[in-house]
Structure 1
Amino acid sequence: MDEAKTDVLAFTPFPHPTGQKIWSNTPIERLNKEIKRRADVVEIFPTPAAFLRLATAVVIEAHDEWQVTRRYLSEVSMAELRKVIAAKQAAAEPVAEQRQIA
């Protein structure tokens, strides 16, 4: 667990609302509920491939919706993220230069 600490806490340097969205798995949970809801309507699938086609159709529909109408992170949030990433890169550059010198 100690080795994975940096990966698990990677969202913490980001501003609060954005970091919370990065950390959350709510969109995946919603997608899984939608697949389950539609599968419950059908009740019995003749083959596993039939279920796979239904689940694929739901995922494609959700993808199209997110491509066109919805945004998980707004333009303002993305601008804040770019600032955080730029600051992290600027802070990492002196360390990389010191390693090259040594």
Structure 2
Amino acid sequence: MALAHDDLLRLLESLRSADGLEIVRAAAERVLQELIEAEATQHIGAAWGEHTETRTAYRNGHRERTLTTQAGDLELAIPKLRAGTFFPSLLERRRRVDQALYAVIIEAYVHGVSTRSVDDLVKALGSDTGISKSEVSRICGDLDESLTAFRNRPLDHSRFP
């Protein structure tokens, strides 16, 4: 999907006036949005406003989704469908932080850092909004479940003499 002339002018102006991190954030946001729209088009079988025989659904607006990355918060728009569901494969459901920040949060949890300090750490790494206590708890709960499953796994005694 090509950028419209106005979008290109806005992007050019933001590149001129922004610092390096803002350029990376804006580029990442734009690339991810274009990938989401392309995947939605493939899922539906038709582009926005296009009428084809292969169309399987109709778009019905967008819902906002914030993805927190080391470059800052990316505001993405996920297409909604009139019937059925669509969620882009490049994002994970119920995860609003990228893998690098996820690893930092897990590392902080393992070292006993408080959730308030984790929020400060995430903000220092580029997030505009930080991370909520409940999000930290959910991420760490996933880790606790994984560790419990690992501890309770059956041992293969044939490997040990």
More helix by share: 1
TM interval, short-chain normalised: 0.3 to 0.5
TM-score, structure 1 normalization: 0.37
TM-score, structure 2 normalization: 0.27
Larger relative contact order, structure 1 or 2 (CA cutoff 8 Å, min sep 6): 1
